[in-house]
Structure 1
Amino acid sequence: MLDSINSLRQAAGQNPIELDAKLNAAAATHSLDMSLQNRPWHFGSDGSSPVDRIRRIGYEGKLIGENISESYETELETLAAWMDEDTTRWVILAPEARKLGFAWKQEANGKIWWTLVMGG
């Protein structure tokens, strides 16, 4: 995913980004939580927002945005779907983005819950 996003960012004239362990942890927590709630949305079962989740794990940078999805079978299909929408494409190509967290939770039935978190 990181290589694909950096290729898209390079084509758009944006700087590359790096994986961040704290943002990965926030993304993983949210993917699991969405699975447990059985719904894709930006708020956690405890009412937490994306900003709350990155602060909780100690990320001190700025939240650029969070992309979420369910049921896409591959990360490339998920990325393509995000690039088709203005709001999720903006998160991926945001000029101020410097860090990325990415995770998924796959259920036994094959459903996948995706979370991408971009930080500045």
Structure 2
Amino acid sequence: MIRLIWTLSAHTRYYLRRYMPTNRLLDEIRRRRNLKWGIPAMLLAVPYLLIASICTNALDQGAPGWLHLVVLWSVWNAMKLIIMGPVSLLLLVRARIAEAVARRGGRRDSDAGESVNHAGAEPLLHR
């Protein structure tokens, strides 16, 4: 029974990860070159919140109960997009710090190589 539940949840996660538009968008934003789009992507939460508002108003006026699922879906997607903005900023800062450290580390290695060359050793290309 546990194996069946595990398999079902794995397949559901794979399907949602692969085919749902907000999940695909968030996967794209998490890449290094797209981290800058996290804050503008937060604006995409507005239509989802508008959908939730329209559906809750319709539910208050006696619409069918299945609209609760639409409200849940839209609020969930809005939350994902709103949270991704600050998260992408943190990831961008972390990536920039790592790149600066890598550049600084590369500069130190090249400085060490130049000091050896200035000590009287000839470069291999000029021999």
TM-based fold match above 0.5:
no
Which structure shows the higher strand fraction?
1
Structure 1-normalised TM-score?
0.25
Structure possessing the higher relative contact order (Cα contacts under 8 Å, 6 or more residues apart): 1
* Structure with the larger helix share: 2
- TM (normalized to structure 2)? 0.24
